[in-house]
Structures are given as structure tokens and as C-alpha cells.
Amino acid sequence: MNLTQYFTEAFAVLAANRVRSLLTVLGLIIGVTAVIAIQVLGAGMAGAVSGLLGGLSERAFIVFPSQQANFTRASIKLSDLQRAKDEIPNVVAAMPAGGQRVVAAYGHAHHRITFGAGPDERFSTSTPIRYGRKLSEDDIAEGRHVCVVSDQGYTKFAMIGDPTGSSLRVGDRRFTIVGVLGTDKSGILPLNFNLDVTVPYPTYERYFVHGNAIVFARFLMADASKVEATEADTLNWLRHLKGPRVEYQTFDRKAFSKGVDGIFAGITIVVALIGAVSLLVAGIGILNIMLVSVAERTREIGLRKAIGATRFQVLLQFFIEALALSGFGCLIGLILGVTIGALVNDFAIVKFSGVVAPIPWVRSILIATVFTTVVTLAFGTYPAWRAATLDPIEALRYE
């Protein structure tokens, strides 16, 4: 069975009826384009969201008072927080979260900046580094007077080149700059540590937590999978510490993801519906044009059968013609969909989030393949069967 020959002939026939073939597959092209573009965009969005969540590690959660709580009463003593890792299972560290606005000096420049404890690198997801390094375990353990400047901090001070090694002054404390972070678009999360300048949290606690009390705390876990139990334990521990009248709540990556997942589930259902409708419309178009093709070529079919083509060979010919038609449509749809999706992703989502998500090629090709198969099987089989079962005598007599 020489399939290449069948395909060659099918494409020759389709090419001979160019306009008709194009118009027929237009519906399929639009449907597949829409579905794949939204898939690619979805991947971009998902990538963007997880990128935005990058500031909050899976192994971290934040505790803060409920909205109706009295913040003064709800504040947690630093000394209590330091005991948390011994008293709450799975908690390995607890530190102040958030920061404060201070005036800092770099050379002769004075600027009001946001300033706070830097995340423990063991528990944060990667942020790109432009110069130097991040805060190290030793910086944290020894409470060194070092700091890391974020992208916006770098801009604020109008720093030029590599500033590591020079110092930054906050009040009467000097901090040696050890690193500058790259662009990190994590600005949509509350209490995320998108601060201009960060120092090791013991250092921050020692000099900048006044009155030994903090309102927002960040807890780090050994095992991220036990986040729910650990959060419950932490809330219990706080209730025990502060009494039942103060309510706290937790926020973690999962809580954010849950909301996002809901939106994506909705989008997926809508896209699936669009896909199904366009598939049906496109399929009917292909069914129609294939029936026309069979009718037009009745004599040709009669001739082919007279010279010895079997029913299967005739069936195959028209089936492959339908397959070539739908396959062509799906291929164009795939290319257009990925192109449009990638372009929109590049010019909108990546610009906003700074996250480049990989294009889901395998899934796109899979979708196009499934579309092709379904359309061909559902709408290409009947015309091919009609052609195959034509009576050669009547077909040859057909005018």
C-alpha cells in the first residue's frame, strides 16, 4: 500500500481546488488557532503567576492578624517568635515579615527606602542576581552588617556599575553591599519582600524592631507538604500565647494558587466549548465539501473501480483527501495559534510579569492531532464510504 501516492494525489486534488479547500478549512483553522492560542497564553499566564509567587517560597507562610484585630494587642514579641522553631513542629525558623520605611544614605545621596529582613535563601525561590551574591547562611547566622539591594533600590540610588563592597548607611548603622538583585516582579503579593534593601533577619531584629514587637511574621517549614497542619499548629500556638481574643490568619502560596486555579479552570471550560463548537462547524464544512467532491468525481470513481480499484482503495483515497484537508487546517491552526499565543505572551504577559513560560509544544501538537483525527473520522468517513460503495456501472454512466 503506497500511502505517499495517496497523499500526493490528495494534495494535488486539494491544490487544484485551492480556494474551495481554503474556505473549507477556514473554520478548522480558526477553531484550532483559538484553542491553541489560549493554551499557549494560559501557559504564559500560569508561568507569570508562579513567577509572581516567586517571592514566597512553598516552604514559607505568613501570619498576620485578622482585619478586625487590634494590631497593638496582636503584635508578637520577637523573643516569642524566636522560640517558635522549638515549639511548633515542622517550623525551622520564624522571622519578622515586611519592612519599614527609612532614610538611607549611599555616598552623598539620601533616599527614603523600604528596608527589612531579607528572606532566608534556603526557603526562597530564586531571584536573579545582577551583581555579587544573595544573603548567605553565614550572614544570617552571624547577623552580619551586610545588605542586598534590589533592582528598584539600585535605581533609587542611581547606582552605577557594580556597587558591591561599598556601604549603605541607615541611621547610624553601616551595611556593606554584598549583592544587587535583578528584576523581580513580585509586586502583587501582600507582605512580599520586595524591599529596596534587605539585611539578614537577626541583624534587622537587633537594630530595627522597636519595642520587641512585630505584627507580621514569616514562618519557614522543613516540609512544605505539611503546610496546612503547620499553619494550624502555628495558629494554636499563637492562641495559646496571646489568648483567644486575638485572631490571626495565614497566607501561603497555596492559598494564592487556589484562586488562580479556579480562574484557569473556568477559562479551560470556555475554551473547550469554543473548540467543540468550531470543530462541529468545521467538520460539517468538510463533510459537505467531500460529498461535493465525491459527486463531482462520480465518473472518476467509476473509472477507478472499473480498472480494478477495490472498495478499500477508493475509500482510502477519499479518506486521505479528507485527512489532508483537516490535517492542513490543523497544521495552519497550530502554527497560527502558537504564533499568536507567543506574540501576545511576549508583548503583554512577559512584559508585565517578567516571566518567560515555555510554549507547550507537545500539548499544542496533541490538540491539533486530536482535532484532525476527530474531524476526519467523524466527517471524512461517510463521503469516503459513499465513494467506495458506488456502483461502477452507474458511476460510469453519470453525467
Residues making contact with another protein (CB under 8 A): 1-2, 5, 12-13, 16, 299-300, 302-313, 392-393, 396
State which residue, 16 or 362, has the beta carbon closest to another protein: 16
- Give the bridge partners for 147, in sequence order: 177
> What gap in Å lies between CA 9 and CA 203, rounded to an integer?
77
**Residues near 5 by beta carbon (within 8 Å), at least 6 away in sequence:** none
Q: Give min distance, CB of 397 to another protein, in A.
A: 9
- Cβ proximity to another protein: between 1 and 362 the closer is 1
Name the β-bridge partners of 237: none
In the complex, what is the shortest distance from the CB of residue 353 to another protein, in angstroms, rounded to a whole number? Answer: 53
Q: By C-beta, is 180 or 301 nearer to another protein? A: 301
> Which of 141/295 has CB closer to another protein?
295
**Count of CA atoms in the C-beta half-sphere (13 A) of 331:** 7
CB of 10 vs another protein, minimal distance in Å: 13
Minimum distance from residue 331 beta carbon to another protein (Å): 24
Min CB(263)–another protein separation in Å: 52
CB nearer to another protein: give 110 or 397: 397
> At closest approach, how far in Å is the CB of 357 from another protein?
46
User: With respect to another protein, which residue has the nearer C-beta, 124 or 298?
Assistant: 298
Per-state percent for the chain, helix, strand, coil, to nearest 5? 60, 15, 25
Contact 306, 296 (CB under 8 A): no
CB of 30 to another protein, least distance (A): 29
Instruction: For residues 44 and 352, give the distance between their C-alpha atoms in angstroms, rounded to a whole number.
Output: 11
Would you say 45 or 390 has its CB closer to another protein? 390
Q: Count CB neighbours of 204 within 10 A.
A: 21
Q: For residue 133, which phi and psi values (nearest 5 degrees)?
A: -145, 175
Cα angle 101-103-106, degrees, rounded to a multiple of 5 = 130
Specify the residue, 264 or 385, whose C-beta has the smaller distance to another protein.
385
CA of 283: how far to CAs of 36, 62, 291, 331, 389, in Å?
18, 52, 12, 15, 22
349-353-355-356 Cα dihedral, nearest 10 degrees: 20
Q: Residue 314 CB, nearest distance to another protein (Å)?
A: 9
Total length of the chain: 399
User: CA-CA distance, 127 to 153, in Å (whole number)?
Assistant: 15
How far apart (Å, rounded) are the C-alpha atoms in residues 120 and 222? 13
